[in-house]
């Protein structure tokens, strides 16, 4: 009788469950422990140092271009020139188009396209400014040159050109900065494609030192 009552009490109890297992998720491994991360991903967004470098290069380009244009416009009459050496002349001309005199009859279109190009370059730099150390220099020259010519077109309706080699349309420092920046950017991209990509492995945090 007592044995039967004891069995009933045991059957009436809630089943004893094993305490819940805690899964330890560690850096460098997946939650199932079967797919360790072989390399660390870094952000390519531009950081404070990249933005400072870009701003310094762009502002220096704008200042140099505006200063030389002011000197030429104040010292030479329109269409007046001074021979320097060989085919090189300092020739004061005005250009309402883009670099090297192209699209001179579409000033409004040039202003809009230039503004869109500068905005796109800033967006690209914000997302990929840390991709290559030369990006702040290359894009800084392109943005600075484009911005300086854009300011003149909005303010005056034209830009001042004065570097004249006779066999090529006259241009200014801003045009030179744009071309140099694009060439530097292309060279950096070509060299980056030729270099073998190496991934730096990260030791799994769950591994024990030998």
* SS3 at position 82: strand
Active-site residue identified among 65, 152, 161, 164: 161
Active-site residue identified among 65, 152, 164, 175: 175
Output the DSSP codes for 147-181. HHHHHHHHHHSSEEEEEE-SSS--B-HHHHHHHHH
The continuous run of DSSP H or E covering 73 comes out as helix 48-75
Active site residue 79: no
85 - beta bridge partners?
88
Between CA 158 and CA 101, with CA 106 as vertex, the angle to 5 degrees is 55
Q: How many other CB atoms are there within 10 angstroms of residue 161's CB atom? A: 24
The continuous run of DSSP H or E covering 131 comes out as none
Burial 33-52, CB ≥16 within 10 A → b, else e: eeebeeeeeeeeebeeebee
* Of 84, 95, 92, residue with least CA distance to 68: 92
Active site residue 152: no
Q: Among all residues, which ones are annotated catalytic?
A: 161, 175
């Amino acid at each position: 009788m007592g044995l039967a009552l004891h069995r009933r009490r045991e059957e009436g109890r809630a089943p004893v469950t094993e305490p819940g297992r805690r899964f330890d998720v560690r850096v460098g491994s997946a939650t199932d422990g079967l797919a360790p991360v072989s390399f660390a991903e870094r952000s390519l967004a531009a950081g404070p140092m990249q933005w400072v470098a870009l701003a310094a290069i762009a502002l220096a380009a704008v200042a140099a271009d505006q200063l030389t244009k002011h000197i030429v416009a104040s010292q030479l009459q329109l269409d007046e020139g001074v021979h320097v050496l060989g085919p090189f002349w300092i020739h004061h001309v005005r250009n309402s188009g883009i670099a090297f005199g192209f699209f001179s009859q579409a000033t409004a279109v040039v202003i809009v396209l230039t503004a869109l190009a500068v905005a796109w370059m800033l967006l690209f730099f914000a997302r990929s400014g840390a991709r290559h150390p030369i990006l702040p220099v290359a894009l800084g020259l392109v943005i600075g040159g484009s911005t300086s010519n854009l300011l003149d077109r909005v303010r005056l309706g034209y830009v001042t050109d004065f570097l004249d080699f006779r066999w090529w349309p006259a241009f200014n420092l801003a045009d030179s900065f744009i071309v140099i920046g694009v060439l530097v950017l292309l060279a950096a991209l070509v060299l980056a494609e030729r270099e073998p990509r190496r991934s730096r492995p990260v030791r799994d945090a769950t591994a024990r030192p030998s």
